[in-house]
Amino acid sequence: MKIKLSPLYLLSFFALVFLVHEIHDWIHVLVARAVCGCWGTKAFDYWTLCAKSWVSVSNQGNVLITMAGPLFNYLVICWGWELMQPENELHQKSLGFSLVFASLPFPRIMGALAGGGDETLALKQIFLHADGGNRHIVSLVGLLFVLILTLPALYRAFMLVAGLWGKLMVVAFLVLPGYIDRLVVSGLLNKMLAKGILVHQVWTGFSQGIMVWLLLLLILLVVIGRYLSWAFEYREVNL
């Protein structure tokens, strides 16, 4: 099987990347609203709790808020893994491949490898000793947790594609989307807000820019989302 990169596929794929990122953050915000009883704020790549939550939310509540976002990513990754079953049709495997890499597994792995990320933070909120003496063990458990939930899907995606060039393309799908997501979201969209573009708040904590971006991504995927099923084609590949 060979990866087929058309402009419309790439546009639909990156729309999915950005949408998964947005939904991840919105889930944090919505769960925080349910736990805290008040709205926090949301920018393009970060969110905050409302002021009273910093003193009133229990440790269990904080863990739930922290883990809610990445659990969505892992559900999407597991969905992609299931779609890439060997007996499935080509369009299902293509969609599964797209779902897995749009969930940005590499940044999740690298964050855990550095001792950070939502998963490790949640574990620290539960298990970290007051003196921090077991932080390395907790970080290792966080890394193992992330690897267990990402590596099976990544292995299946890697084995779908034949040839050295195909394998390198899979590596590119693993590494590049996270950097492009950061470049667009942190480097462009947050700067847009900083310059006062679409900063009027639709309601407290949520600007027009956030809503326009979410709506744009949804429209893009409705219009061209079918191209997510066109990532692969059958072709003889020279090793």
Q: What is the largest CA-CA distance in the chain?
A: 61
Amino acid (1-letter code) at residue 229: S
The pLDDT of residue 52 is above 60: yes
The pLDDT of residue 227 is above 70: yes
**SS3 sequence of 187-237:** HHHHHHHHCCCCCCEEECCEEHHHHHHHHHHHHHHHHHHHHHHHCEECCCC
Q: Mean pLDDT over residues 36-42, rounded?
A: 84
The pLDDT of residue 55 is above 70: no
Place 8 in a pLDDT band, splitting at 50, 70 and 90: very high
What's the mean per-residue pLDDT of the chain?
89
Assigned token pair, 101: 């890499």
Assigned token pair, 171: 């590596």
Pick from 29, 181, 23: nearest CA to 107: 181
Burial of residue 74 (number of CB atoms within 10 Å: 0-12, 13-18, 19+): buried
Strand ranges (DSSP E) for the chain? 2-3, 41-42, 47-48, 201-203, 206-207, 232-233
Assigned token pair, 155: 């292995």
Using the 8-state DSSP alphabet, how is residue 202 labeled? E
Count of H-run helices and E-run strands, the chain:
10, 6
Pick from 236, 218, 233, 5: nearest CA to 101: 5
How high is the pLDDT of residue 198? 79
Percent of the chain with pLDDT over 70: 95
How high is the pLDDT of residue 181? 95
Q: Quote the distance between the C-alpha of residue 158 and its chain's center.
A: 19
The pLDDT of residue 239 is above 70: no
Q: What is the pLDDT of residues 102-127, one digit of tens each?
A: 999 999 999 999 998 999 999 998 88
| Mean pLDDT lowest among 34-38, 57-61, 87-91 | 57-61
Q: What is the pLDDT of residues 204-225, one digit of tens each?
A: 678 888 899 999 999 999 999 9
Pick from 181, 203, 200: nearest CA to 41: 203
- Rounded Cα distance between 111 and 238, Å, is 36
* 207 beta partners: 201
Pick from 69, 42, 40: nearest CA to 53: 40
The pLDDT of residue 31 is above 50: yes
Domain assignments of the chain as residue spans, ordered by start: 2-233
Amino acid (1-letter code) at residue 60: Q
Sign for the pseudo-dihedral over CA of 50, 145, 71, 156: positive
| Mean pLDDT lowest among 56-70, 73-87, 159-173 | 56-70
